[in-house]
Amino acid sequence: MAVWALGINHHTAPLDLRGRFAFALDQIAPTLHGLRDSLSSASGRHPGVETAIISTCNRTEIYCAAEAPALDHTLDWLAHSGGVSPALLRSHSYSLENSLVARHAFRVASGLDSMVLGEAQILGQMKDAVRAAEGAGALGTTLNQLFQRSFAVAKEVRTSTDIGAHSISMAAAAVRLAGQLFEDLTKIRVLFVGAGEMIELCTTHFAAKTPQQITIANRTLERGEKLATRFGGEVMRLADLPDHLHEFDAVISCTASTLPIIGLGAVERALKKRRRRPIFMVDLAVPRDIEPEVKQLEDVYLYTVDDLASVVQTAQAHRQAAVAQAEAIIDAGVQSFVHWMELRSPAAQNGGVVPLIQQLNSQADEWRALEIARAKKRLAKGEDIETVLEALSRGLTQKMLHGTMAELRAGDAEARAQTAQAVSRLFLRSHSKNGL
């Protein structure tokens, strides 16, 4: 199987271009069906192609596995879905194959490729994307292995290094910027637009500063009320936002809308009612929730996800040692994945490695079944359980070592020496955490 990935992120593409390729979670399944159909029809490709899409504020990435790579076709399909030319997308994208795909996925899952170095939110977003791919029937053995190993590597990075110890989240950065504009955050009124995970995180950070008022505006009142209740806030229908925008000093927005929900005209009217008192606005949505022209208004301080980049990187120097540790963990994970891929290759199959592994597993299962059957008979006769367990373990050990012992006793001195080396390597080596 060949594995390839194509993507754009905050390193390679501007915000508005990323917005063209943002897929809401409920769009992933139908999008994957379209992608698989397109890849399957290209050059008579086998219909069993595996696909997954990760789409966040900072990236959209397509992961695929099939008998042969199809990077150009994947790029053409993505360009068409975003309504841009393949040439434009190519100039802002990156493409990877095989081990480089694994390395990239492991770094993304571990937070090493995020705007906020070491942030943990991307791991949850990747897991959501994998669940969506599984639900769409688009995930096969190869990509499943890739992502499960990504999650395992990310967990080890998180627990074994201080990669996230000094990170500044987008939410914390928004509070920091608001504090630079307003002398006292306890006197401001804050409006949160949306009720998703990012807004919940932002509300938590702002609530810690005890602002004068917290209001949640959302399309559905039920979800908005649930979040507002947690923070002693109020709730508002999204449709009522233009009439009440002037009441708020700070507006934080992050919805899944494909079009801006706060326009230039609405903000101009709000500023007029506020008698030119400034409004602090943060647009964390991709595509944008707030029209970009709003930034040109004299009394508006509008920040996007890209504008926050310099703020969230202030602790970068403190994390370099942790990054080096994380990269070493990722290197080991990549080597393990490549080895797994090699074992599944036609060469390995023809060379007898996989059949031999299958025979070993079959033989071990046979021995285990025999000893368990004997143990059950002895237990049925009323024998002491500790005695039965001791006999079971001894029986298994003798079966597993019988052939080895026979080889060590047989043959000439040279053959016995070679066997002894092999036995030492197989049975007497120390077992590390990543021994398999």
Q: Which residues are catalytic?
A: 57
Alpha-carbon span 182 to 17, nearest angstrom = 32
Angle at Cα 107 formed by Cα 100 and Cα 327, nearest 5°?
Answer: 90
Alpha-carbon span 332 to 178, nearest angstrom = 42
For residue 234, give the amino acid letter.
Answer: E
Q: What SS3 state is found at 53?
A: strand
Alpha-carbon span 391 to 384, nearest angstrom = 11
Determine contact, residues 336/145, Cβ cutoff 8 Å: no
As a residue count, the chain comes to 436
Query: What is the Cβ-side half-sphere exposure of residue 292, based on CA atoms within 13 angstroms?
Result: 10
Alpha-carbon span 377 to 173, nearest angstrom = 67
The burial class, CB within 10 Å (0-12 / 13-18 / 19+), for 362 is: exposed
DSSP codes joined into one string, 274-315: TTT--EEEEE--SS-SB-GGGGGSTTEEEEETTTTHHHHTTT
Radius of gyration of the chain (CA): 29
Q: Where are the alpha helices (DSSP H) in 64-196?
A: 71-82, 86-91, 99-109, 121-135, 141-160, 170-181
Long-range contacts, stretch 391-396, CB < 8 angstroms, 24+ apart: 395/370, 395/371, 396/367, 396/368, 396/371
Which one, of 205, 215, 198, lies nearest residue 177 by Cα?
Answer: 205
Query: Residues 6 or more apart from 113 whose CB is under 8 A from it?
Result: 9, 11, 59, 104, 107
Please identify which residue in the block is written with the tokens 């806030």: 233
Alpha-carbon span 132 to 24, nearest angstrom = 11
The burial class, CB within 10 Å (0-12 / 13-18 / 19+), for 427 is: exposed
